[in-house]
């Protein structure tokens, strides 16, 4: 199994716990170092390599299963990146992806911060996703896809804590705040606070964000 854009290794480690032979690839050395420490702590055998999801260092058909679960395929050419996932997947194999659902919290978050940030080299600014139609355009008509809508809850002590957490640790939010400067940062933080409260589903005084996504599974045709 390949975990493309593995980050700190959540999906790769989950697969290794189920005795899969796993390779994780990511372009962030710090996240890869964290993933290796986590694997060592659990005694799991996972190979973590530095590399980009748009140019995977593997031959055609190298993996039975290919995952892109950490991010929703950021980059200037999503179709090319999906092509790379298809290329390294063996015929008849499966590709799994997380695709943030239209109208959900992450979709609305990207819509709020996208106009305010300058993306780093090689990345385009986040834009709202358009769900099933975009998936069909990315994979092409020959690839069967299932993409049921799912949701999970991400918990924080409060809405204010969530905004500060994202301001410190969520790359797109951090870049947006840095780009607009301190004079305008307060207005964006207020917008993000209102957004968090809009997707609040907690039954107490903490914050539970409901995050909706499409659980994408694509099967590579035997002839592709």
Q: Does residue 65 or residue 81 have the better pLDDT?
A: 65
CATH number for position 64? 3.40.50.150
Alpha carbons 39 and 51: distance in angstroms, whole number: 19
Whole-number pLDDT of residue 159: 96
**Token pair of 59 as six digits:** 């031959």
Residue 86 has pLDDT above 80, yes or no: yes
Model pTM score: 0.78
23 lies in some domain: no
Is residue 140 included in any domain, yes or no?
yes
Whole-angstrom CA distances from 7 to 16, 26, 131, 148 are 15, 6, 23, 24
Whether 195 is covered by a domain: the verdict is yes
Domain count, the chain: 1
Q: Tell me, yes or no, whether 46 lies in a domain.
A: no
User: What's the number of CA atoms in the CB half-sphere (13 Å) around residue 158?
Assistant: 4
């Amino acid at each position: 199994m390949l975990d493309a854009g593995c980050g700190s290794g959540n999906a790769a480690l989950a697969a290794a716990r189920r005795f899969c032979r796993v390779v994780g690839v990511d372009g962030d050395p710090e996240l890869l170092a964290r993933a290796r420490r986590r694997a060592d702590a659990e005694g799991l055998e996972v190979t973590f390599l530095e590399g980009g999801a748009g140019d995977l260092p593997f031959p055609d058909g190298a993996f039975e299963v290919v995952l892109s679960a950490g991010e929703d395929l950021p980059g200037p050419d999503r179709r090319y990146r999906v092509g790379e996932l298809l290329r390294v997947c063996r015929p008849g194999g499966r590709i799994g992806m997380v695709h943030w659902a239209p109208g959900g919290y992450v979709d609305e978050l990207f819509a709020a911060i996208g106009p305010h940030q300058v993306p780093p080299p090689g990345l385009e600014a986040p834009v709202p996703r358009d769900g099933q139609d975009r998936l069909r355009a990315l994979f092409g008509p020959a690839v069967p896809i299932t993409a049921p809508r799912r949701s999970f809850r991400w918990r924080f002590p409060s809405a204010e804590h969530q905004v500060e957490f994202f301001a410190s640790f969520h790359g797109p939010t951090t870049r947006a705040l840095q780009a607009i400067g301190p004079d305008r940062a307060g207005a964006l933080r207020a917008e993000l606070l209102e957004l968090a409260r809009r997707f609040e589903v907690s039954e107490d005084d903490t914050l539970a964000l409901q995050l909706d996504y499409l659980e994408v599974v694509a099967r590579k045709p035997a002839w592709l």
